[in-house]
Amino acid sequence: MHKRRFTPSPAMVVSLIALFVALGGTSYAAITNLPPNSVGTPQLQNSAVTGPKLHNHSVTAAKIHALGPAKVVGASGAPAYHGSWGAPIPNDEGVSFYKDPWGIVHLQGDADNSSGAATGTIFKLPVGYRPAGVIEFAAFAGPGGSGDLAYIMVTSNGEVDEVIPQQFVGLSGITFRAGL
Mean pLDDT for 148-155 is 88
Question: pLDDT tens digit string along 157-169?
Answer: 999 998 877 788 8
- How far is Cα 32 from Cα 104, in angstroms, rounded to an integer? 36
Whole-angstrom CA distances from 144 to 92, 109, 120 are 15, 15, 20
| Residue 62 predicted with pLDDT over 60 | no
| Residue 152 predicted with pLDDT over 80 | yes
DSSP class per residue in 130-172: S-SS-EEEEEEE-GGG--EEEEEEE-TT-EEEE-S--SEEE-T
- Of the candidates 96, 92, 143, the one whose C-alpha atom is nearest the C-alpha of residue 115 is 143
- How far is Cα 66 from Cα 175, in angstroms, rounded to an integer? 19
Q: Considering only the top CATH level, what class is 60-177?
A: mainly beta
Mean pLDDT for 26-51 is 70
Residue 57: what pLDDT?
A: 53
Residue 4: what pLDDT?
A: 75
Question: pLDDT tens digit string along 67-99?
Answer: 557 898 988 889 998 888 888 877 667 899 999
Mean pLDDT for 139-155 is 79
Helix (H, G, I), strand (E, B) or coil at 112: strand
Residue 65: what pLDDT?
A: 46
Mean pLDDT of the chain: 80
- How far is Cα 63 from Cα 44, in angstroms, rounded to an integer? 21
39 against 156, higher pLDDT:
156
DSSP class per residue in 84-102: T-B-SSTT----EEEE-TT
Q: Would the CA dihedral through 41, 47, 48, 52 be positive or negative?
A: positive
Q: Would the CA dihedral through 94, 84, 98, 153 be positive or negative?
A: positive
Residue 64: what pLDDT?
A: 46
